[in-house]
Structure 1
Amino acid sequence: MTVSASATKAPAVEGLVVEGLRKQYGDHTAVDGVSFTLAPGSSLAIVGESGSGKTTTVRMLVGLERPDGGTVRLDGRDRSALPRGRAERLARAREIQMVFQDPYLSLDPRISVSGCLDEVLRLHTGLDTAARAARVSELLDQVGLGSREASALPRGLSGGQRQRVAIARALAVQPRVLVLDEAVAALDVSIQAQILELLATIRRDSGIGYLFVTHDLAVVRHIADEVMVLKSGQVVEAGSTSRVLESPEHPYTRLLLDSVPRRGGFATTL
């Protein structure tokens, strides 16, 4: 099954096109023939329980895992083969960035927020010191952080603030696609809502595409145009967010929806 997120916005050759993606670990097939298209500026939620293959799928997209089969193309360029040299590795990294569930584990505890962002800019751009400082300020403003947070170490920030830093770091290289792997799962509901609103604003202003990986269907309607449901490494249902959440066709999707906490008979939303 193939899902095309807002496919009417652009021809299939544009954006991220994944076909027949497969990953095997010994006798276990983690991802089995996953295909989808993410058009520029679209947002696709990849949904499933732990072990469904969703994180393995996106790890292959960003180059943290090598696929055993299938193809990954971005704007017609093949990303399936190993990159040739450092320049190509950096170019690929700029195209698709990833924000993890726990930003504290991916932030250097010894480096301030501004230092963290400056480090990314030094690696990926040719900006001089003054231009990098201006860009750091711009990024912090984009994610709702200021000078106090800029000088802080990660341990001096709240969980929501650290996630904002992780988002700013990913945006620093102006990626075409942002992968968010359970990026709000560790936050309380009020902070989740703030981060989701921030992400919606960034997507609207920048035209970046989102792949939002989650096990929680309660947050999907707030971030995604379309949904792809994975079970045991395979796509079992895909379609528009409203259709999948309101009229699910597969029993597994209905099971996921039934697991969403409810109040007074209605599914809880943010």
Structure 2
Amino acid sequence: MPPRRRRDHAVTRTVTTTTQGLVVEGLRKRYGDHQAVDDVSFTLGPGACLALVGESGSGKTTTVRMLVGLERSDGGTVRLDGRDRSARARSRSERLARAREIQMVFQDPYLSLDPRVTVADCVAEVLRLHTSLTPSARTARVRELLEQVGLGEREAAALPRRLSGGQRQRVAIARALAVEPRVLVLDEAVAALDVSIQAQILDLLATIRREAGIAYLFVTHDLAVVRHVADEVLVLKEGQAVETGPTDRVLDAPEHPYTKLLLGSVPRRGWHASPAAPERRRPE
């Protein structure tokens, strides 16, 4: 079989020698005849925030699902602080250790919260699984985590269905923070919220990042929020990285036609949608 020819990219891969932070190189994933992720590489430094942007089907979610271990990659490497996370975990303790390093907050937290137990117990269960805290210490830590995300005793005693969408997202964030992760993946984490609630959650995330020094991988199709949260942007199109760079540069002076198209689609005063090509559904 002839060697696989690498397609030209608009992104030039930067070789880095750092061992700190999250380093992803040549990540690939294929579903049948569809290449969902094709040779994606990026670096996320400690305490930094990288926005992974693109339309539905661009490969954003598949990429982050591979990072947290929900999907197996077909190729490439994932390293965190110099440790290789690419191979399958060999033991339960290794799986738990990896889970503590990279946590994920989903678009719809209700699907990831147990509807039968209270908010406090949802958070406490994570502490029981990942720490050796005594029951009294767990209770104190749960209270501390919920206070950190702006929730009190009333919300702690409630079932998830009794909370608003914004409150449930705060619970999901508290639960992710319980294991003190190095990286927090936010997969369309504010997309389903009202604009005013979005702003509250984004402000909360900014405060947590500043105080705790956690790195964020912010996955979104909404460029309107990217400028407020991210240091750098990586643009994906059909599974390939087409542009990357500092947020202000990419948003103010985009170089790739696809990035320009995305920016041109952001609603603004006097904005009118241009005719769009029929949407093609594909795995993301």
- The alignment's TM-score, normalised by the length of structure 1, stands at 0.94
Letter in 2 for 1:237: E
What is the count of residue pairs matched by the alignment? 260
How many angstroms apart in 1 are the aligned matches of 2:195 and 2:238?
A: 29
1:101 aligned residue (96, 107, 114): 107
**Corresponding residue for residue 14 of structure 1:** 20
Change (3 A) 1:101 1:47: same
RMSD: 1.2
1:171 aligned residue (177, 188, 198): 177
Matched, 1:184 2:166: no
Q: How does 1:106-255 map to 2 (within 5 A)?
A: 106-255=112-261
SS in 2 for 1:220: helix
Deviation string 1:147-182 (CA, Å, 9 cap, x unpaired) is 000000001000000000000000000000000000
Poorly superposed stretches of 4+, deviation over 2 Å: 1-4
How many angstroms apart in 2 are the aligned matches of 1:150 and 1:37?
A: 37
Change (3 A) 1:254 1:71: same
Cα deviation for residue 12 of structure 1 reads 2.1
Percent identity between matched residues is 80
**Corresponding residue for residue 29 of structure 1:** 35
More strand by share: 1
Which has the greater radius of gyration?
2
2:267 aligned residue (261, 264, 268): 261
Deviation string 1:3-27 (CA, Å, 9 cap, x unpaired) is 78xx9xxx62100000000001111
Letter in 1 for 2:74: D
Gaps of 5+ in 2: 1-10, 272-284
SS in 1 for 2:224: coil
Matched, 1:55 2:57: no
Gaps of 5+ in 1: 266-270
2:79 aligned residue (69, 73, 96): 73
Deviation string 1:53-79 (CA, Å, 9 cap, x unpaired) is 010000000000011000000000000
How many angstroms apart in 1 are the aligned matches of 2:250 and 2:117?
A: 43
